[in-house]
Amino acid sequence: MLDKMNEKQLIKEIKRLKEIKPSKDWVFSVKDEILGQELEHKTDWLSVFTFVPRHKMAFATLTIVFVLVGVFGWAQSSLPGEFFYPMKKAVERAQINLLSAQTERPNLKLELVSKRLSDIAEIAETNHGTKLASAVEEFRVSTIEAAEGLKTVENTEKVVMEVKRIEAGRQSLEALGIMVGETEELDNALAELVERELKDLKNRALNEAQTEFLKQAQTYYESGGYSQALENILRASQVID
């Protein structure tokens, strides 16, 4: 009898519980909590899946940087006829294009002539005879480009320094029995530069010391000693200024 009463009472209480409706605030609170947990779990999984691709991208970028630095180093030390030499030439050309046309470009082109002579000397020292013809051709091309740059040169002091380096480089190669051929275009451009500077110097009022520098410059010019001629012109100009 007692069990039946308890059963009836339990059924009655269950029916009452069904009639109880939760408040809206409670519903929204529970919903937000559940969605928040789901979002947190999703974020955790997303971070796991995205970490690896990001890590791979960073590693790939770093690898590319190291490879490029290595390639650049190899290119800088490469010689005519070698695989990376065209890249070396491309870098040099980019350096020229970044400089002012009226000031630094001509001097850098002359500097590259000296580098081509150094390439030839290195080939001779390492007995890479098959690369010698390519190196001499690169030297010839560089002298033509340098000759074109001398038409707009302004800083003759740097020209003197670079031309002397070129002359010294040629003499060192000739001592080894290596002839790089004539540099007619460069010689003609230097002759025109000296002639232009001599004309400007003659139009100035000169003292005795300056007149002597002018005479020496004229003598060197007539004998083809263009770097010596420019050096004396530079001395006379510095005295005047």
Looking at the predicted structure, is the pLDDT value of residue 26 above 80? no
* Rounded mean pLDDT, 143-152: 91
Model confidence at 78: pLDDT above 90: no
How far from each other are the two terminal CA atoms of the chain, in whole angstroms?
Answer: 132
Q: Do residues 104 and 48 make contact, with C-beta atoms less than 8 angstroms apart?
A: no
Which of 152, 149, 144, 163 lies closest to 229, judged by CA? Answer: 163
pLDDT value, residue 163: 93
In contact, 112 and 146? CB cutoff 8 Å = yes
Average the pLDDT over 71-96 and give the result.
81
Band of residue 34 on the pLDDT scale cut at 50, 70, 90:
very low
State the maximum Cα–Cα separation within the chain, in Å, rounded to a whole number: 146
- Cβ-Cβ contacts under 8 Å for 91 (sequence gap 6 or more): 72, 75, 76
Break the chain into its structural domains and give their ranges: 82-181, 182-241
Q: State mean pLDDT over 147-174.
A: 90
DSSP string, the chain: -HHHHHHHHHHHHHHHHHH----HHHHHHHHHHHHHHHHHHHHHHHHHHHHHHHHHHHHHHHHHHHHHHHHHHHHHT--TTSTTHHHHHHHHHHHHHTS-TTTTHHHHHHHHHHHHHHHHHHHHHTT-GGGHHHHHHHHHHHHHHHHHHGGG---HHHHHHHHHHHHHHHHHHHHTT------HHHHHHHHHHHHHHHHHHHTS---HHHHHHHHHHHHHHHHT-HHHHHHHHHHHHHHH-
The predicted model gives 55-82 an average pLDDT of: 57
- What tens digit of pLDDT does each residue of 102-135 get? 678 889 999 999 999 999 999 988 877 788 999 9
- Give me the torsion for CA of 222, 227, 231, 234, rounded to 10°: 90
Confidence (pLDDT) at 63: 47
In Å, how far from its chain's centre is CA 4?
Answer: 97
Would the pLDDT of 230 be above 90?
Answer: yes
Tokens representing 3 are: 């069990």
What distance in Å separates the CA atoms of residue 65 and residue 67, rounded to the nearest whole number?
5
- Give yes or no for residue 60 having a pLDDT over 90: no
Q: How far apart are CA 179 and CA 4, in angstroms?
A: 125
